[in-house]
Amino acid sequence: MLIVKKFGGTSVGNKERILNVAKRCIEEYQKGNDVVVVLSAMGKMTDELIAMAKDINPNPPKREMDMLLTTGEQTSVAMMAMAMHSMGIPAVSLNAFQVAMHTTHAYSNARIKRIDTDRIFNELEQRKIVIVTGFQGVDRYDNYTTLGRGGSDTTAVALAAALNADACEIYTDVDGVFTADPRIVPGARKLSEITYDEMLDLATCCSALTVQDTGAQDSMPDIGQVLDFRNKWLK
């Protein structure tokens, strides 16, 4: 089986958490599966990089911001590969340029156009765990772009579709799936189970509600693009 696993910034926020994620991925690898891991930037690194940039220039160019912000995920994937090597497991980290993850030209809010899979499959054939930067791509001029907040989830689903993966697992540190955002709706209930189609409906509905109620559009993954890739994946 080929499995894509995505871990957010909190999951790789320090040494202990990086090692825990590495062990989880290695367990899957030792079952004989091919494993591709997608990572966000460590902890609050993205916010720290934004603050550093605005300390230099209150209105930094979007291109330069994308150049800066992509270093966060590159740090995460390199550290994860080092952790796996320390445990005796072959692993390789790849950024968006090395994978060749093609996007539109819209800095800070690019959309994935296509993903070249040759490099990833070549590494998997050598029985390596492949660790890929989330949240980023490259445009036709080889400039780095970012996909906006939640972009690492989009990266994971897009990779799963492009690789024809058997499973795409997105890990988070929340308690479960709720009927609404509990930070906004005090009476939100945690669901004991949910079907795949119900999850898609809830994701689409709640993304619209979140934008309407809080204005936090950038904090949500690109639901439309996630669904596009999901539909391609299931064909």
Distance CA 168, CA 3 (A): 6
More confident residue, 191 or 232: 191
More confident residue, 226 or 119: 119
Single-letter code of the amino acid located at 209: L
Kindly report, residue by residue over 138-163, the tens digit of the pLDDT.
999 999 999 987 789 899 999 999 99
Percent of the chain surpassing pLDDT 90: 69
**Residue extents of the structural domains in the chain:** 2-173, 175-235
Distance CA 26, CA 33 (A): 10
- Contact assessment for residue 220 and residue 204, using Cβ atoms and an 8 Å cutoff: no
pLDDT tops 60 at residue 232: no
The residue-averaged pLDDT of 95-120 equals 96
Distance CA 73, CA 136 (A): 8
CB under 8 Å to 19, separation ≥6 — which residues?
A: 83
Question: What's the Rg (C-alpha) of the chain?
Answer: 17
Q: Residue 213: what pLDDT?
A: 36
- Contact assessment for residue 67 and residue 95, using Cβ atoms and an 8 Å cutoff: no
Into which CATH architecture does domain 2-173 fall?
3-Layer(aba) Sandwich (3.40)
- The closest alpha carbon to 161, from 96, 228, 209, 94, belongs to 228
- The Cβ of residue 160 has, within 10 Å, a number of other Cβ atoms equal to 26
Q: Is the pTM of this model over 0.85?
A: no
- Average pLDDT across the chain, whole number: 86
Kindly report, residue by residue over 45-94, the tens digit of the pLDDT.
999 999 999 999 999 999 999 999 999 999 999 999 999 999 999 999 99
Q: Residue 192: what pLDDT?
A: 86
Kindly report, residue by residue over 170-183, the tens digit of the pLDDT.
887 677 778 877 87
